[in-house]
């Protein structure tokens, strides 16, 4: 079964963007290619059980198994050795990506305290990186099982050729952007 936002993209947004961006071909219309969630867990250096808890919560949020990331370098000041597990990451594509985006825009972001929209800062290639300071905004996070508030990074990668195209694409999904 198709995700709600995927169906909306195929039926309405694609045609609207073709006209709005003055593109010649329907294949030139930008789309979201993947969403990556990343969370660094500095407490994992002292206690490896924390990483398993975080991994379980991220898996519940996105509905897909998360992968443990490890340190690339040893840093003595942080008591960190090369190869130590230090974070969690998950890459979403297709249906799960659209399901997460729907949940992120319509359920999680309205729960963020003092939220006035994201800055319109793209990386120059049409990709957007946003940070969420509190992962408790997702309904899957159980307050009793979580030991502390953690933040996570959400990267939305698009096929847009410019930041303006990516902005138009994400605005058509009702992504909240602040005034600039």
The mean per-residue pLDDT over the stretch 11-32 comes to 81
Give the ranges where the chain is alpha helix by DSSP (H).
4-8, 14-20, 48-62, 94-103, 163-172
Mean pLDDT of the chain: 77
Fold of 4-172: 50s Ribosomal Protein L5; Chain: A, (3.30.1440)
Confidence at residue 178, expressed as pLDDT on a 0 to 100 scale: 67
Confidence at residue 75, expressed as pLDDT on a 0 to 100 scale: 66
Q: Write down the domain spans for the chain.
A: 4-172
The pair of three-digit structure tokens given for residue 112, joined into one six-digit string: 């963020």
Confidence at residue 179, expressed as pLDDT on a 0 to 100 scale: 64
156 by Cβ neighbours in 10 Å (0-12 / 13-18 / 19+) ranks as: buried
Confidence of residue 85 (pLDDT cuts 50, 70, 90): low
SS3 (DSSP) at 55: helix
């Amino acid at each position: 079964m198709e995700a709600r936002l995927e169906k909306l993209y195929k039926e309405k947004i694609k045609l609207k963007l073709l006209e709005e961006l003055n593109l010649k071909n329907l294949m030139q219309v930008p789309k979201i290619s993947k969403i990556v969630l990343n969370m660094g867990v500095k407490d994992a250096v002292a206690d490896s059980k924390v990483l398993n808890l975080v991994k379980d919560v991220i898996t519940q949020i996105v509905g897909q198994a998360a992968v443990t990331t490890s340190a690339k370098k040893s840093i003595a000041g942080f008591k960190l050795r090369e190869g130590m597990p230090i974070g969690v990451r998950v890459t979403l594509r297709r249906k799960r990506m659209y399901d997460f985006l729907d949940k992120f825009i319509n359920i999680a972001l309205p729960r963020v305290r003092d939220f006035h929209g994201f800055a319109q800062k793209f990386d120059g290639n049409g990709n957007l990186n946003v940070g969420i300071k509190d992962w408790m905004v997702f309904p899957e996070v159980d307050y009793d099982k979580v030991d502390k508030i953690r933040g996570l990074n959400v990267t939305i990668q698009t096929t847009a050729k410019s930041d303006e195209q990516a902005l138009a694409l994400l605005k058509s999904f009702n992504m909240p952007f602040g005034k600039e």
